[in-house]
Structure 1
């Protein structure tokens, strides 16, 4: 079920700006939500069935908790699904962040605040993003903060990446480069908004 960005949340966020709060962290978070919403509004078609503000809030909130650049998460979503929350890959990955059901179940077992019992829950954009960010955070920790390895593992899978690393095999570049190109595109849109 889609978590709504209630008027109460909007009021709290707005009051941070209106009161000229000294907490630059919260102001920065609010600005990121607005920036990401503007990018989403620019990149998505107007027939989407979810709120871009809800998505923006979730991306920033979950990314902040995991100490991940929210624009990188936005780049992963653009690369994975082009913002189609109903997307299903040939391998059965589902939703905005293209999560495999087995990966979702594994991630939900690692996190007290994520509970998933059925694959159809992965079509919910908010649930999908929470699981995707948690999984990406897991990969970052697994590869000691190496963003390149985490991005490649997100697409290739950690088992295949580990095999390539152990055997000194060439790492695939296509997916990683596409995420970087999308990151640059999002930066350009954000800076021109």
Structure 2
């Protein structure tokens, strides 16, 4: 019986011919290549999220944690260094779209200018980042829980020992956000595009930095 089955299988293979055999071999090779590529892609490392604002990183950036802690606790060291009235007047028109009340608009601009200068950042870049992140909505909350104008993740409050901080409070949110952005500027040796990508948690990609720079070019330059 076994011999008969072998004969029938051999006879069937011979009728299929060499083209069928080549097709079968090609299919096996294609599957092998597909599995190999899948394994390679799965093994690729990802930097996203290691120091991201979009979710708690697997490993906290200790240098950034200490810097945030010092910044939040050392609020008395901040002083305005020059009169920003000309700057305020020049920027308030572009903010009308997001903040209708003139007094509130000027107050928000003043706070952003002060926080950016204290962190040694360009206020115009911070304005562009906030436009992209929250449209200047202090109560904005992202789908992953980032809060406030600069969309800071709440886990940072516990990391620096300030769980009571309110990230929807403008000055607090700006201190966190500007300190974090400045840290990434230093880490990137002043390369703004890289720092913005790190801030967003998309290091190695440039869709987010381009959005910020587009906003800067159109509205805040």
TM-score, with length taken from structure 2: 0.57
How big is the shift at 1:30? 2.7
- Please name the residue that 2:29 is paired with: none
How big is the shift at 1:117? 2.6
Given candidates 154, 160, 170, the residue that maps to 1:101 is 154
**Pairwise CA RMSD of aligned residues?**
2.6
In the alignment, the residues of structure 2 paired with residue 45 and residue 34 of structure 1 have an alpha-carbon distance, to the nearest angstrom, of 14
Given candidates 79, 91, 114, the residue that maps to 2:132 is 79
CA contact (8 A) 2:137 2:148 kept: yes
The runs of at least 4 consecutive aligned structure 1 residues that moved more than 6 Å come to: none
How big is the shift at 1:151? 0.4
CA contact (8 A) 2:98 2:136 kept: yes
- Please name the residue that 2:164 is paired with: 118
How big is the shift at 1:179? 0.4
- Please name the residue that 2:195 is paired with: 150
List per-residue Cα deviations over 1:64-100 (Å, max 9, x = no partner). Answer: 1222110100000000011111111111100111000
CA contact (8 A) 1:84 1:95 kept: yes
Moved more, 133-142 or 70-79: 133-142
Given candidates 85, 90, 100, the residue that maps to 1:30 is 85
TM-score, with length taken from structure 1: 0.64
- Please name the residue that 1:18 is paired with: none
Paired residues in the alignment total: 142
List per-residue Cα deviations over 1:12-35 (Å, max 9, x = no partner). Answer: x9xxxxxxxxxxx724x3322333
In the alignment, the residues of structure 1 paired with residue 158 and residue 150 of structure 2 have an alpha-carbon distance, to the nearest angstrom, of 15
The answer to whether 1:180 aligns with 2:181 is no
